[in-house]
A and B are shown apart, each in its own frame.
Chain A
Amino acid sequence: MSESAEVIAGVLIFLGTLISLISSVGLVRLPDVYTRSHAASKSSTVGVLFILIGTLLYFLISEGYFSIRLILGIVFVFLTAPVAAHVICRAAYRADVPLTQTSAEDELKEYFTVNEKQSGDSPSP
C-alpha cells in the first residue's frame, strides 16, 4: 500500500522537478524578457502542479489523509502565475524593453505610439 504510494508520488515529483529544471534552463537560454516569460509562466506552473499532486496522492494513499490545502494551493498557483506573467510583460513593454533582434513584427508598437500621441501623458496599452 505505502510502496505504491511511494512509487506514484516519486514519479510525479520527479516529473515536476524535471519540468521546473526545463523552465530554469529556458530562463537562461532564451533571448529576451518576453520569450523568457514564456518559459517561466508555463513550465514552472506545471512543475509546481505536478509536485503538489504527487504530495497529495502520497498522503492520500499512504495515510488516508486528504489535504484540501494542497488542492487550494494548486488552484491559486493556476490563477496567479499567468496573471503575473502578463503583468510583467506589460510593464516591460511600457518601460521600452526591446524585443530580441530576430523579432519579426510588432503590431503593438503602432497602437502604442498612436495612443501615446493622442492621450498625452497617460497611454495605457
Chain B
Amino acid sequence: MAFQILVNIIIAFMWMFLSESYTMPSFIAGFIWGLLLVLLLNRFIPGRFYGIRVVKILKLILIFMRELILSNLSILKLVYTPRPEIEPGIFALPLEVKSNWEITLLAHLITLTPGTLSVAVSDNNDILYIHAMDIDEVDESIKEIKNSFEKAILEVTR
C-alpha cells in the first residue's frame, strides 16, 4: 500500500515538472492521473489497488461514529433509569485478528462501543477479555463485534 502511494506521489511530481507549474492544483491533477495509472497498471505492482483500502478505512470510521453515538444513548438510558437491573460481567472473545496493531485497534473500538469495555488480552494474543454492562446478551454481542468490527478491520489489513 505504501509503495503504491509513493509511486502515485512520484507521478504527481513528474506531472508538475512536465507542466512546469509548481502549484497545488497541478499537484492534485497529477495525483489524479497517477491514481488512474496505478489502477491501470495494478497487475504489475504488488498488492491490491490501494483505493479499495482507503474506502474500507472510511467505512470503518463511519461504523465507529455510529456505534459511538449509540453507546452514548445507551449510557444515558442506563444512568437515568431509577433502579437499573443490570448484570455486569466479564466474558471472553476469541480473536481472529493476529497482529498487535489489529488487536490494539479492536480493543480501542470495543471500548468506545455500547455496553462493552476491553479489560485484558491473554498472553498468547488469542483471547480478549471484555467487561459487558449486561451479560445476558453475550452471544449476541460477540456475533455483533465479529460481524462489524473484526470483519471491517480484517478487510482493511488483509
Contact = CB atoms under 8 A, between A and B. Distances in A.
18 contacts: A22-B79, A30-B78, A34-B117, A35-B86, A35-B88, A38-B133, A42-B75, A43-B72, A79-B108, A85-B117, A86-B117, A86-B118, A86-B119, A89-B117, A93-B120, A105-B90, A106-B90, A125-B123
Contact of B78 (A26, A82, A104): A26
B92 A124 contact: no
B88 A32 contact: yes
A43 B79 CA distance: 11
Contacts of B87: 102-104
Nearest to A26: B79
**List of 3 A-B pairs having minimum Cβ-Cβ separation, nearest first:** A82-B111, A104-B135, A104-B89
Interface centre among A34, A38, A124 (most CB of B within 10 A): A38
B72 A46 contact: yes
B76 interface: yes
Nearest to B116: A38
Contact of B120 (A32, A43, A83, A90): A90
A45 B72 CA distance: 10
B129 interface: yes
A42 B68 CA distance: 8
A99 interface: yes
Given A85-B111, A86-B111, A124-B123, 19 more contacts: A22-B76, A22-B80, A34-B117, A41-B111, A82-B107, A86-B107, A89-B119, A90-B119, A102-B88, A103-B88, A103-B89, A104-B88, A104-B89, A105-B89, A107-B90, A108-B90, A108-B129, A111-B127, A115-B123
Contact of A41 (B117, B120, B122, B129): B117
A34 B91 contact: no
A74 B69 CA distance: 16
Interface centre among B112, B129, B131 (most CB of A within 10 A): B131
A19 interface: yes
Interface in A1-55: 19, 22-23, 25-26, 29-32, 34-35, 37-39, 41-43, 45-46
Contact of A46 (B68, B89, B119): B68
A108 B117 contact: no
A62 interface: no
A100 interface: yes
A83 B105 CA distance: 10
